[in-house]
Amino acid sequence: MSAHPKRELPHNLGSVDQVPVGEGRAFGVEGEQVAVFRLRDGSLRALSAVCPHKGGPIADGTIDQQVVMCPLHQNAFELDTGCSTTGAEPLQAYNVEIDAERNIILQMTERSVGN
């Protein structure tokens, strides 16, 4: 049995300008919903877009430099790691950056076929 390391594949989500500073937007990527947040310092963070508690829209949550708060039941998640600060299941965190053309580039781990 051989283990193949999964590699990250870049996904161009379009212009960073579609995410206002201090807010989040949800994107469908590879069959998953991903919330991309543009912090007040201009940096980006990306997490799973659906709260594990009751399916709340994480992209619509309130953010600061460290956490996003789910708009439904105020579960809070660290923007860097996806870990909950309120006891909920964690969210998946993704690597995200802005390229030279000011596009959002999301790194998503390659899925294995048949799994």
Structural domain including 65 reads 8-108
Query: How confident is the model at residue 5, as a pLDDT?
Result: 62
Place of tokens 């991309």: 36
CB-CB contact of 111 with 29 (8 Å): no
Residue 24 belongs to a domain with what CATH number?
Answer: 2.102.10.10
- Tell me how far apart the alpha carbons of residues 115 and 64 are, in angstroms, rounded to a whole number: 36
Is 115 inside any structural domain? Answer: no
Is 56 inside any structural domain? Answer: yes
Domain count across the chain:
1
Residue 55's φ and ψ, nearest 5 degrees, are 75, 25
From first to last of its 115 residues, what are the pLDDT tens digits of the chain? Answer: 445 567 889 999 999 999 999 999 999 999 999 999 999 999 999 999 999 988 999 999 999 999 999 999 889 999 999 999 999 999 999 999 999 999 999 999 865 333 3
Query: How confident is the model at residue 109, as a pLDDT?
Result: 82
Query: How confident is the model at residue 7, as a pLDDT?
Result: 81
Does this model's pTM top 0.95? no
Is 59 inside any structural domain? Answer: yes
